[in-house]
Structure formats: structure tokens, C-alpha cells
Structure 1
Amino acid sequence: MTHERAILRIHFHHSGNEDLYHQLLTVLDGISPRWQAQPPTAADHDITGALKYFDRHPRDLAQLIALRAAALYGTQTTIGGGNSILIAAMAADATPPGRITIIDPTPDAIAAFLSPRPVHALPGIGPATATLLTRHGLHTIGALADTPLLTLQRLLGKTTGREIADRARGHDPRPVTPGTAPASRTARHDFTHDELDPGQHRRAILALAEQLGTGLRHTHDAAGTLTLDVRYADRSHTTRTRTLPEATNHSAALTHAAHRIYDHLGLQRARVRTITLRASALRPATAAHHQLLLDASDDKARRIEQAADAARARFGPDAVFPASLAPSP
């Protein structure tokens, strides 16, 4: 029996506990060691070799992973599968929680899955790009696939246009790169309803940056990169990562960087469900270099931060927080 390339995107439904996330990743080793962590709750899993070993369909192995995650750790999973990371990720995003969707690797099956989906469901297309495409009458991925490459390149630029054209046809040669979960720290905010107010989005980001900064200072780490993931009501999402000018655990610097990433998304009336902020490329804070500024306010902010950390250590994590995060009277 021969097997096409088979990739799974697995979403673990846990509360953001990083220790549990690392334990869940060990479930994948029982099927195949070729997995790549996608913190804070997901992983890509190349099971091509495992299909021959187990002599099973990808759906069977996906069900086995779901069963083991539930039995060993009490964690529900949502799994999508296909012949590439792109198809697997999109299948997972289109799957109801706790279910499995496997897209057959035939060109007809891939086209049938992709064609009717809105352009914003294609990874790499954020709200601003989706608005540009729909303004030119390109509302679905099928319409993108049927658009001449030169037309897309005129709209999006040479490199981006070619990348979007390839993805719209389901072409994605990226490999799953095996390795351990990268050192990172994650904070997540789930809104109780579809939140359209940018002010509430920015307020949530402030709280997440404060949470990350406090945690990093507690472990004496500093972050080199910051990733913002925004998940919408239709379960699509946008992820952007930025390398920080200098590794930091300063809450104000993390907040400023996170707000800049958010502003560059250009969200307008977006129905946001979840915002996740991840600090990665961690290193010991003692190895991070802080550029000295002739700015008394920066010095004062860091002294206040130290005092706030001391108060939290003595009286609990909610002892001190920014005034803008105080509950409304």
C-alpha cells in the first residue's frame, strides 16, 4: 500500500497550561516523532510514515490521537488533515470542536474544499488584504485560484501575489520540522461574546502584556519575539510575529509592541473571540541588554514596576494592576 503525504493539525482544548501542553505533545510521539509545536494549543503532525507502519487511514490515526489525549489528560481535540500543512490547518479551522475532518489528497477533493471558502479563510490573508481582494470582486478562494497570476501580483505585489496564488490552489511544500516545543510564555483572553470594540481589544492586549511581563520577571527571563494571535467568530484567525528591538520583560515595552502589531492588522468591525499573546525566544534576563535612554519617565516606570512586583509577591497577583484595567463601577 502506498501513501500520499499526510499532515494533521491538532488543536488541544486546554486552558493554556503550558505544562499540560507539553505533556499533550508526548501523545504524538506514540504515533510518529515528526511533529512541530504550534503554541499555545496546537501542533502539526506528519503521519506519512506512520500510515505504512500502522496500515491505517489518516482518520484512524487522528481518532487514536484524540482518544489518547482524552483518556490520558482529559483533553478534547479538534483535528484537520490533508496532504499539506495548509490544508490540514484550514480543515482544522473549519471543523466543529471535538470533531475530525480529513481532506482527501486528490486535486478534485482539495479544490472542492477550498473553492467555496471566503478569501479571509486562506492563511496569509489578513483583514486588510481580504478587504482589498473583495473590493476587486474576489470573494472566494476559488475566485483567487481562477485569477491570473499577474493580476494578483499587480494587486498584492510580486512575492505575496505568487504565494497567495499557490495557496489558493492548495500548493504548500512546507515540511513539518520535528523538534521540542520552543521556550515561550503564553497569555490568552477569551471574550464572553463577539467583541467588535477596538478599545476592548486593546484593553485585553494590555492585560495580556502585563501578565506576560510579570511572569517573565518572576522567572528572570526576557523575550526576544512577540506573537499576537486574533481569532474571530467564524473561527478564522490572524497571527503576526515581531522581533523586539531588544529582549525585554518590561511590561510597558511588551504592551507597546503588542499594540503596534494589533494596529498593523487594520481590524475594522472585526468580531473577535480570542486574543492570544506569546513571548518567545526567551533568554535569561541577565543576558539581555537594555539600551539606556535619557528618559526619566522610563526609569520611573521601571522603579514602579519593581515596587508593583514586590506588592504582588506579598499580597497576591491582583494586588496591583494598571488603572485602565480596573472594573467599571
Structure 2
Amino acid sequence: MTEASGGVLGECVVAEDPAGVLYLRFRRTAGGPPDSAGYTGLLALLGAFTPVVEAAPPDGALADVGGALRYFGRDAQGLASVIRVRALALHGVDCAIGAGANPMVARMAARRAAPGTTFVVDRGEEAAFLAPLPAAALDGVGAATARTLCGYGLDSVGRIAAAPLATLQRITGVRTGRELWERARGIDRTRVVPNAAARSLAAERSFPRDELSPEQHRRALLSLTEELGARLRGEGQVCRSLAVSVRYADRTGYATLTRSRTLGEPTAHSAALTALAYRIHESFGLQRARVRGIALRAEGLADAGLASRQLTFDPADERSRRIEEVADRLRERFGPGAVKPAGLAA
């Protein structure tokens, strides 16, 4: 396992690099994730090195660079350095990059990489890299599964890897047990699936220090949904789904969880966005988590004029939408801070 700082490394001859997958986390030098246009540009930048690029919005991407390593004659650290320099020069974005033999290891390695560095896990070193990590740090293990595993003394990835497969399957189920057993050994059967960045809008709130209060987390989400709702309505757009990303402190540093859900119907109604954002956030189960930032991305954008809306015959809903229209007009005239929900009042 090696870590390298930014800077283009010298040429090296690579026969077959064992770390052929990169996971990149993008951060603007001014702070926060890139905007939608910047994110699309970064994916295009990666496309100049490999056609196998998988978007992981709002601030990440997977790239299978096995062929690129041979073509450019560099190892994973060298190629990552070239990508980082171009991202910084062309888009004002720095990258924390993890490199591994498969997507899971690359994602987990990226959590150990600070901005401007690459953390490489070479093939054959996956078990040693994963073993000391807590069970909750294993890719794909949520809070509920981690609590179940810890209840049986399987509180680290190394202990999960050492447990008999049959034991894991009795505890978590046949399929989940098999997946845990393989992942704890660094085995990931998924592949990088090329896709395009969906049209989206994103916003983020960062806390000046690790924030423990769930009320402050919900306040940040309310602020984000109000902002995105107003932007969507201003542009005549609706969204089909929301993705919530929470960056929080754990034993390995800072980790990011992202989940998305589809709305009942395409909408730009702030109340509907807020309700879904709250449900996604609650599904993380991060009780007393030390949260540093929350990001929200509205995905699957479409023209509001072409979207259908289900009539509810709910007077409260109709009243809420009329108030929203008035608030939008006031914000347009007096500025974005002219009208705020009561939950955001100072």
C-alpha cells in the first residue's frame, strides 16, 4: 500500500499494473463538490484516458484504467498524478484518488487518500489493507448490519474474513453472508459500468466542525431542498429523484455515504423534496454521527411543462404550492434570502 502526493511522475514501463481501477473524489479548490457543468467536464477529462468511466455523483467517479496504464506507460500513481494535474489546471478541482484491483478496493482506498494524493492497494495486499478496519467501514455494510455483526464479535473486517462462510450466512442470510465473506477478503465481482452523468443540480452545506446534532442535520437538508427547489422552478425544471450524501467522521478518517430514491412523481415542489430528503437521511441510521457536510443532488431533470402531476384534492397541498409561488416572486424581486421557512429562521 503506497501513498503519493501530487505532481507528474517520471515515465515508467508498465507490463501489467495490478491496480487497474481508480476511484476519484473531486473537490473544488474553493471548497465543496463541483457543480453540474464542472462534474460533466471532469467525466469528459477521464474519458480522454479510458472509455470505461462510471459516474458516481455528486463528487466521485470510477475509471477502469487497465488499458490506459499500458498505453501511457505509467503505473497507477503516475497516471493518477497526470489526471490530478489536468483536473486542477482545467477545472480548478483537486482529486483524492484510490487505486485497487477492483471497484470496492478502489473506493475504500480513496477514503484514505487526502486531497492531492493517491492511495494504492496493490493486488494481493487487499486482505492486509482491509483487516484492521471496523466492520462498518466495509463497503456495502450499513449501520444495521454492522450492529448485527458486532453483536457476534465480528467487529473488524479481519474477523469477518476469518469467520466460516456458513456462520456468516446463518447470521445475515445466504446471499449477504457470501457477499460479506468475499468482500472482507478483497473480492469484488462488480465491474466499472460506463455511463453518462445524468442531468442534475447539486448543492452542499458544510459545517465548520463535526456536527452531532440531528436537528442541525435536518436544518441543512431543509436549506438544501429549498435552494434546489427554487433553482428548479426558476429554470422550469422538475426532477425525478434525489441523492443525499453525508460526509462523516469514522475510525478511518472521513467517509461518505450516498443514497438516492425516486420521487412519487417528477416535481420541483420544495415540500416534496424535503420529505424525501428526510426519509433518505433517516435511512442511514447515523445516530450521533459526527457529520462534516451534507450534499443534495436533484437528478433526472426534465422540462416542467412536459411533466404530469397527480391531483391530490388536498387543500393544504394546494395552499402550500400557492405560498411557494408567492415566495418565489418575492425572492426574485428582493433576493434569495427574502423568504425562508420557519425552520430556517435564525
- The TM tier, using the shorter chain, reads over 0.9
CA contact (8 A) 1:128 1:265 kept: no
Q: Find 1:299's aligned residue among 292, 295, 318.
A: 318
Q: Which residue of 1 aligns with 2:70?
A: 52
Change (3 A) 1:148 1:286: farther
Paired residues for 1:161-310 under 5 Å: 161-233=177-249, 234-310=253-329
Distance in 2 (alpha carbons) for counterparts of 1:29 and 1:257: 33
Q: Determine if the alignment matches structure 1 residue 135 to structure 2 residue 151.
A: yes
Q: Deviations over 1:205-233 (max 9, x none)?
A: 11111111111112222221111111112
Counterpart position of 1:74: 92
Question: Secondary structure, in 3 states, of the residue corresponding to 1:236?
Answer: strand
Report how many residues are paired: 325
CA deviation vs aligned residue, 1:108-165 (integer Å, no higher than 9, x gap) = x111111111111112122232222222211111111112233223332333332222
Task: State whether structure 2 residue 107 is matched by structure 1 residue 89.
Answer: yes
Q: CA deviation at 1:188?
A: 1.1
Query: Closer, same or farther in 2 for the Cα pair 1:59/1:5, shift >3 Å?
Result: closer
Q: Secondary structure at the match of 1:235?
A: strand
Residue 215 of structure 1 aligns to a residue whose secondary structure is helix
| 1:103/1:263 CA distance change after superposition, 3 Å | same
Matches within 5 A, 1:17-166: 17-106=35-124, 109-166=125-182
Q: Cα distance 1:20–1:130, how it changes in 2: closer, same or farther (>3 A)?
A: same
**Do structure 1's residue 8 and structure 2's residue 22 form an aligned pair?**
yes
Cα pair 2:19 2:120 within 8 Å, conserved: no
Contact 2:19 2:122 in 1 (8 A): no
TM-score normalised by length of structure 1: 0.93
Between the aligned residues of both structures, percent identity stands at 46
For the structure 1 residues 161 and 246, does the alpha-carbon distance in structure 2 shift closer, same or farther, using more than 3 Å as the test?
farther
CA distance, structure 2, for counterparts of residue 48 and residue 146 of structure 1: 30
Name the CA distance, whole Å, in 1 between partners of 2:97 and 2:180: 24
Could you state the TM-score of these two structures normalised by the residue count of structure 2?
0.89
- Given residue 250 of structure 1, which amino acid in structure 2 is its aligned partner? H
Mapped contact 1:231–1:237 kept (Cα < 8 A): yes
**Uncovered stretches (5+) of structure 1, i.e. residues with no partner:** none
> Separation in 2 of the partners of 1:158 and 1:237?
27
In the TM superposition, residue 5 of structure 1 has moved relative to its aligned partner by: 6.3
- The 1-side partners of 2:325 and 2:244 are apart by 26
The whole-number CA distance in structure 2 between the counterparts of 1:229 and 1:299 is: 30
Letter in 2 for 1:287: L
SS in 2 for 1:202: helix
Match of 2:8 in 1: none
Sort the Cα spacing of 1:72 and 1:96 in 2 relative to 1 into closer, same or farther, 3 A.
Answer: same
Residue type of the partner of 1:226?
A: L
- Structure 1 residue ranges (4+ consecutive) displaced by more than 6 angstroms after TM superposition: none
What is the aligned-residue RMSD (CA, Å)? 1.6
Instruction: Give how far 1:4 is off.
Output: 4.3
87-96 or 19-28, larger mean C-alpha shift: 19-28
Q: Give CA-to-partner distance per residue, 1:235-280, whole Å, 9 cap, x none.
A: 1222222122212111001111111112222221111111111121
C-alpha displacement of 1:74: 2.9
* Shift in alpha-carbon separation, 1:142–1:21, aligned structure 2, 3 A: same
Farther off after superposition, 288-297 or 148-157 = 148-157
Q: Give CA-to-partner distance per residue, 1:272-303, whole Å, 9 cap, x none.
A: 11111112122222332222112100000000
